[in-house]
Amino acid sequence: MKGILIILFSMSVAVCFGQLKHDANWVFGDSVGIDFRNSQNPIAFKGISKNAEANASISDSAGNLQLYISYNRNYSWMQTDIRDGNHNIIANGNGVNVNFSATNGAVFLPVPETNDSIFLFHLGSYTTSCDYFTCLKLYYSLIVKGQDNKWSVAKKNVLLSNETVEESIALVKNSDALNWWLIVHGQKKSTQDSTSNKYFVFDVTKNGVSLHLETSVNNHTHFYSFAGELVPFRNGNYLLDAVTGDNVVYIDKFDRCTGEIVAWDTLNLFLPANQYVYSTAEVNKHIYVTYTNYDNTSWGGGIKHFYWTPDSIIELPPIYQANISSDFLSQIEVAPDGNMWVSHWYAGFDSLLIDQYKRHFSAIQNPGSINPSLVNYHFSLPSYSLPNIGLPNFPNYNLGPEGVFLANAGKDTVLCSNTNSTGITIGAPPVPNVIYLWQPATGLSAANTAQPTANPAQSTWYYLTATDTTATSCAVNTDSVYVKVETCTGITETPTLQAKLYPNPTNGLLTVEVPQGADGYTFRLFNLLGQQVLEYPLEHDKTTFPLDFAKGIYLYQITAHNGQVQFGKLVIGD
């Protein structure tokens, strides 16, 4: 919708680079596609989209385009198609209920703990009237990949709530860094009603989506309750609740552990009445706001710059100001190249100005600094493309566990049974407010302490679960240690391999290097239950092979015919 406020969360420029490449391809607007896989040299390509403000796309962990939405003008203005990376409509992918004018009204999210299922959360119109000219409800569709490696829609237009909501979807990782919170703001029952403002928070897991809680927000005005944006920022611990027509951004504190808004209106950001807030983005506590002059004489506008802390907002010198008739800046978003891209819009009919304003992006460089710089017309689109008003919506995949600690089971070690009858210490010094649990308890002096003594009768993997009980966290971390029991000869033991294994964490491809001239090596992978999930022969000094397993912590073992062995932990990510 015209003049809708968009707020994008970005931890920092560094976080932007670490987006697991799910944001490597932007598909949005009218036929716009931008490939960011080479982040320093983005390339335009043609997407089959006719979108306005609701845009969503997703790439795999290697940066290959998987899916995007594409408004189909053969339908009503409230339906879209889902297309794959080859730009084909996927099976059952037509007729998805997406209001094309809902700001950030659609977003893809991989189903937690799966590699072949993706949620599309979307805001769709319905026929029942409300007190505004648009009435939105929250839906989801489930997309799955078949054995033929093709995507299809398994569930479509599943209504999540009968409540009417505003035009933005927010996603925040749970403190366990595995599941997600889905957040929407309820639409007021009427323009005069300030008592029905609510947040609705849904729990998103591998088992589906369910309502977690609803919370009243009676102190928020929300006069224009259909238009705005709700986006997490600062590690997902705050929410920017923007109300476009009121030109105000409420800042609320969010608890990633419980899914609750724990403090209202910690600080608010206002713009003058004649400066219509359009879009904003945040990097390293620096908030940038595009606005349009709304005085009925001209468009024009600019970019304002604020520095935020939990206690204050300081307005810094503006980045850009203009008073060009029929021209205004629309959405801004931090791109994978580390710059903040600024989309222009032109409401006039001059062909030269259309090309100048509508087919170019400007960029704010060094956006997380006191003195950022604006590069006008940083990137040009082909003549067939028009960005329109919206940019694609992405969740922040980079948030880790909301804890002040990491579980540490200690280093893998050898217990010489013929010389050591008392055992060895495993683990690490305790951290306050952390609960420790070791499994199995066999051979341990205690199962609920940070550093027990291990004296098993046979070689054993010990698994540590550490739970943070501080008020700001509900994180649970796991780690493991291997205690090898053997008879030692003198002070020496069977030599350990000097193999190299990388990258660790890995996103699916693993390389193992063994000593030159060696042969007969085998790589084995185990889950945390001790079950072997892979055995792979290492027939070369350097072997690269895929690991098609769910993300998480695994244990590996490399063995040679001469008795050498190497143990360790391997992390598989997205």
Q: List, for residues 255-297, the tens digit of each pLDDT value.
A: 888 898 877 666 677 777 667 666 767 888 888 888 777 665 5
Q: Are residues 312 and 216 in the same domain?
A: yes
- Structural domains counted in the chain: 3
- Residue 138: CATH number of its domain: 2.130.10.10
* Position 235 pLDDT exceeds 60: yes
- Which of the four pLDDT bands, split at 50, 70 and 90, describes residue 225? low
CA separation (Å) from 217 to 65, 74, 231, 249, 261? 39, 40, 16, 14, 9
Between CA 226 and CA 211 the distance in angstroms is: 21
**What would the 3-class secondary structure string for 400-469 be?**
CCCCCCCCCCCCCEEEECCCCCCCEECCCCCCCCEEEEEECCCCECCCCCCCCEECCCCCEEEEEEEEEC
Q: Are residues 371 and 440 in the same domain?
A: no
* Position 512 pLDDT exceeds 50: yes
Q: Are residues 481 and 500 in the same domain?
A: no
Record the pTM: 0.71
- Structural domain contains residue 122: yes
> For residue 41, what are the contacts with CB-CB under 8 A and spacing of at least 6?
none
- Give the SS3 label for residue 228: strand
Residue at a domain's end among 454, 477, 493: 493
- Residue 408: CATH number of its domain: 2.60.40.10
Residues 334-345 have a mean pLDDT of: 85
- Structural domain contains residue 106: yes
Sign, Cα dihedral of 220, 222, 226, 229: negative
Question: What tens digit of pLDDT does each residue of 399-415 get?
Answer: 876 665 667 888 788 88
pLDDT of residue 96: 95
- Which of the four pLDDT bands, split at 50, 70 and 90, describes residue 12? very low
Look up tokens 């990633």; give the residue.
256
- Structural domain contains residue 397: no
Residues 470-485 have a mean pLDDT of: 74
Q: Are residues 514 and 372 in the same domain?
A: no
Between CA 308 and CA 291 the distance in angstroms is: 18
- Residue 493: alpha-carbon gap to chain centroid: 46
Q: Are residues 54 and 77 in the same domain?
A: yes
Most confident of 255-269, 310-324, 427-441, 476-490: 427-441
* Position 493 pLDDT exceeds 50: no
Q: Are residues 242 and 195 in the same domain?
A: yes
Domain that holds residue 441: 403-493
- Structural domain contains residue 536: yes
Which among 274, 313, 280, 276 has a CA at the least distance from the CA of 292?
276
Average pLDDT, the chain: 81
- Structural domain contains residue 353: yes
- Structural domain contains residue 345: yes
Which among 69, 49, 62, 59 has a CA at the least distance from the CA of 23?
59
Q: What are phi and psi of 137, to 5 degrees?
A: -130, 160
Q: Are residues 218 and 353 in the same domain?
A: yes
- Structural domain contains residue 301: yes
Contact 154, 169 (CB under 8 A): no
Contact 123, 99 (CB under 8 A): yes
- Structural domain contains residue 391: no
Residues 431-439 have a mean pLDDT of: 86
Residue at a domain's end among 493, 516, 547: 493
- Residue 290: alpha-carbon gap to chain centroid: 24
Residue at a domain's end among 493, 511, 540: 493
Please tell me the chain's helix, strand, coil percentages from 3-state DSSP, rounded to the nearest 5. 0, 50, 50
pLDDT of residue 108: 97
Q: What are phi and psi of 352, to 5 degrees?
A: -65, -40
Q: Are residues 503 and 565 in the same domain?
A: yes
Q: Are residues 350 and 456 in the same domain?
A: no
Q: Are residues 314 and 184 in the same domain?
A: yes
Q: Are residues 170 and 315 in the same domain?
A: yes
Q: Are residues 549 and 486 in the same domain?
A: no
Question: What tens digit of pLDDT does each residue of 114-163 get?
Answer: 989 999 999 998 766 676 667 899 999 999 999 999 999 999 999 998 88
Burial (CB < 10 A; 0-12, 13-18, 19+), residue 442, is middle
